Structure 1
Amino acid sequence: MVGNPYMAEAGQPQRSGTQSLGRGIRLMRMIASKPEFGWRLSDLAAASQHDKATVHRMLACMMEERLVEQRVSDRHYIPGPLMYELGMAHPARVQFQRAAENAVASFAQRMAGIGLLLLRSGSEYVCSVRSGTLPLPGLMVHAGTRRPLFTSSGGIAIVQTLPEDEAHEVLSQNVMQEVTARGGGRLAALQAMRERSARHGFGVNLGDVVPGVHAFAVPVHNSGDQAFAALCLMGSAELYGEERLPQIHEELKSEAAALSELAHTLQL
């Protein structure tokens, strides 16, 4: 049963200010999930389960603060410059991002595939880095893409490190997100990817979700030894056949270890 969104975790009614702040943050997360296409007001209202007048008032406030912009060409709402500027207030993460861009680019070139760095964001991931020039039809993940964790081998690599109860909660939320957004058509394929990954002990997708696209991932740990990110390698079935799994796993672990060491040094 879904909990009452108007109740705090301690079981007490949320104060109106806290409730409004929570609504605003959830709305910003939604807008950030489709940075290129953007959102119509009606779609945001439907997805957030609020009436259009309420959502419009929230958007007007966010636009005044430059958290959200309305694109002139189609009137869609997209992330504003303040979202980016606020992220720069964490120097260690900015430094990690710059180093990761170079590391993932070098890794992708060495492996002749597409390299991704996915950051955990609650029950979702955000693509922080994408590098590589391999043509890969069907790969719709770019820097800034936000999706449920269980839709990616990288997300699965992160979920594999979680305590059982937390992993169950994340997967339950992800299933609800998937069904709400796309229906249940992909659930069997996503389950197959999770089961394959469990057998191998790291994120493995051998065309389970998108035929012909193979993907592999291992977690990257922060200074608290938590999986805060995942390093992914993606390519075609011809390039990365199942017989290469041991080699790919070792290459990923080596590169992820270097990124984890950097995260420890920066005290992330």
Structure 2
Amino acid sequence: MARKSVKVTADGNEAAGEDRDPLLVQSVEKAFRVLRAFDGTRPNLSLSQIADEAGLDMSAAQRFTHTLTKLGYLDKDADTRRFELTVKSLDFGYHYTRASSLVERGMPYLLHLSKETEETVNLTVLDGTDIVFVSRFMSRHVLNNDVITGTRLPAYCTAPGIAILSFLPEEDAYGVLERSHLHPYTPHTTWEMDALREKLKKSAGRGYATAFEEYFHGDLSVAAPVLDANGKPYGAINIAVSRSRYTPEETEQRFSALVTAAARSISMAGGARR
């Protein structure tokens, strides 16, 4: 996914002229920039690569990597002098899942759906223009091994993303679409703005969303939003199945009522009322 470029001065600070938050602790923000430089395509990085990815000069990058290494979040190979994340970085995800009321309330319903359908069941939330998987029960008919808890996918071409967007106020939903990098991942991707707006209206009307091979080939998904007490979506539950085992029509007919009921139950468990 595209990274936001950061203009910096020689001392590693953001360039003047940009909007500044007087309460923002810039050193903390820069430390997280360093941590976010690592991902599946860049599991280990040199100091110069970190500086480039984080928008820091070499001196600042050296200070931040040294500090994060001392704190146990980075490890430096003595021979290659390259850095990588340590297992301690998982603490953030662990504490989120333990503290999340959505995950806590959703777990029994996810487990029930998983046992009843024997298909992959996910709980996701919207973050920016992406959905993030916060809980996942895998099917024995394994789909997409590379999707794990914490994985991000574009909201506009996933069933959970469309389900969430369809229950947001139009201005908010369209704002997410406008900020997204809209393009077709597969020949089946709905990605043009007019078509996406129509899809949101359709999904809002029936209470669930579908995505058939829009991001992954062979992946069919049905999702419904989880709503808060004001009827605002703050998550979605979905069932994903393989195109080799179901047609899109069979998927929608068999699973739409199940995910809608589960999402409604989670919403009600949180005191939500439509």
Number of matched pairs? 252
RMSD (CA atoms): 4.1
**Paired position in structure 2 for 1:263:** 270
Q: Does 1:118 align with 2:124?
A: yes
| Whole-angstrom distance in 2 between the partners of 1:207 and 1:92 | 33
In structure 2, relative to structure 1, the CA distance for the partners of 1:174 and 1:194 (3 Å cut) is same
CA contact (8 A) 2:97 2:134 kept: no
In structure 2, relative to structure 1, the CA distance for the partners of 1:90 and 1:195 (3 Å cut) is closer
**Residue number among 234, 240, 253 corresponding to 1:228 in the alignment:** 234
| Whole-angstrom distance in 2 between the partners of 1:190 and 1:118 | 20
**Higher-Rg member (1/2):** 2
**Residue number among 254, 257, 272 corresponding to 1:250 in the alignment:** 257
| Structure 1 residue 199 displacement after superposition | 6.6
| Structure 1 residue 231 displacement after superposition | 0.6
| Whole-angstrom distance in 2 between the partners of 1:217 and 1:30 | 31
**Letter of the structure 2 residue corresponding to residue 191 of structure 1:** W
**Paired position in structure 2 for 1:181:** none
1:90-129 alignment, distance < 5 Å: 93=100, 96-129=102-135
**Paired position in structure 2 for 1:150:** 156
- Give secondary structure in 2 for the equivalent of 1:141: coil
**Residue number among 185, 198, 201 corresponding to 2:200 in the alignment:** 198
| Whole-angstrom distance in 1 between the partners of 2:54 and 2:116 | 43
| Structure 1 residue 197 displacement after superposition | 4.4
**Residue number among 231, 242, 245 corresponding to 1:239 in the alignment:** 245
- Give secondary structure in 1 for the equivalent of 2:149: coil
CA contact (8 A) 1:218 1:230 kept: yes
**Letter of the structure 1 residue corresponding to residue 152 of structure 2:** R
| Whole-angstrom distance in 2 between the partners of 1:239 and 1:196 | 28
| Structure 1 residue 203 displacement after superposition | 2.7
Query: TM-score normalised to the size of structure 2?
Result: 0.70
| Whole-angstrom distance in 1 between the partners of 2:93 and 2:138 | 28
Deviation by residue 1:39-78 (Cα, 9 ceiling, x = unmatched): 4245544443434543343233333334x23376985532
Which structure features the higher share of helix residues? 1
User: Alignment identity in percent?
Assistant: 16
- Give secondary structure in 2 for the equivalent of 1:70: strand
| Structure 1 residue 142 displacement after superposition | 0.8
**Letter of the structure 1 residue corresponding to residue 106 of structure 2:** A
**Paired position in structure 2 for 1:132:** 138
**Letter of the structure 2 residue corresponding to residue 81 of structure 1:** K
**Letter of the structure 2 residue corresponding to residue 70 of structure 1:** D
1:138-177 alignment, distance < 5 Å: 138=144, 140-175=146-181
| Whole-angstrom distance in 2 between the partners of 1:196 and 1:7 | 41
**Paired position in structure 1 for 2:10:** none
| Whole-angstrom distance in 1 between the partners of 2:76 and 2:202 | 45
